[in-house]
Amino acid sequence: MTGAHVVGVGDCCVSGDPDAVLMLVRPSIDPKDFLRELVVKHKSGLEILAGSELFDRPGPADASALEEVFRLLSRQYEYVVVDAGTQINSCSVAAMYTADSICFVANPDVPSVRNAQRLLDRIGQLGSCRDRVRLLLNRAAEPYPIPPSQIESALGHPIHHTFPSDYKTVSTALNSGVPLALTGNSDIATHFDRFTRLILDPADAAAPAQTAKRHLLGLQKLASIW
């Protein structure tokens, strides 16, 4: 889903070379030129700012530098996707404050829902972040361990999108380094395509969904899809 859309992907869990990141915010260096040296272009068209091998970076002292990096990236790319990790710390907070949308992933099981509840509460305490949260239900397959409606009730937040459970396909993509979108026709790849289109053009993605709903209603069965 790149095409005319320029997309950058960054890893906030262990960001790119920390010294390089700090150099990026120095006014004496042209950000465009320096970004070209830091990012790696994937054959899919994505440009990736790879993670660091240093376990403790970025740390709390890097939060302000990361905020500036996010601003620079947003000027260079039409879309920036950041892996903010699974914990709320100064760096993930920096990512959330600069994000237009926060995609929050949960699984349909009790430990995951309970953890999601704690994290959503913390996000709410941070201020205006919660209204930008998009709850994504992962590994969702019937029969659900916990029904989606019950999850929404427990979290007090609607499910924005659900993804089916397909461990084999996802594991193969992770181990081979080939994105799901390039692995051929699979149900989960189709769901990721729909989700991406929903981000790029919510109005355009809504129309096919409504058409599909009318078709499936005749069968009295509906399908849904981080």
pTM of the model: 0.73
Pick the CATH number of 7-165 from 3.30.450.40, 3.40.47.10, 1.10.4080.10, 3.40.50.300: 3.40.50.300
Q: What is the pLDDT of residues 90-145, one digit of tens each?
A: 888 888 888 888 998 999 999 999 999 998 998 888 876 778 899 999 998 888 88
- In the chain, domain spans: 7-165, 166-225
Strand order of the sheet with strand 133-137?
A: 102-106, 133-137, 159-162
Q: What is the pLDDT of residues 128-143, one digit of tens each?
A: 677 889 999 999 888 8
Average pLDDT over all residues of the chain? 76
Q: What is the pLDDT of residues 16-53, one digit of tens each?
A: 454 444 444 455 566 667 777 778 888 778 888 876 67
Taking the CA of residue 184 as centre, how many other CA atoms within 13 Å lie in the half-sphere pointing to its CB?
Answer: 3
The structure tokens listed for 101 are 């949308």
64 vs 55 pLDDT, higher one: 64
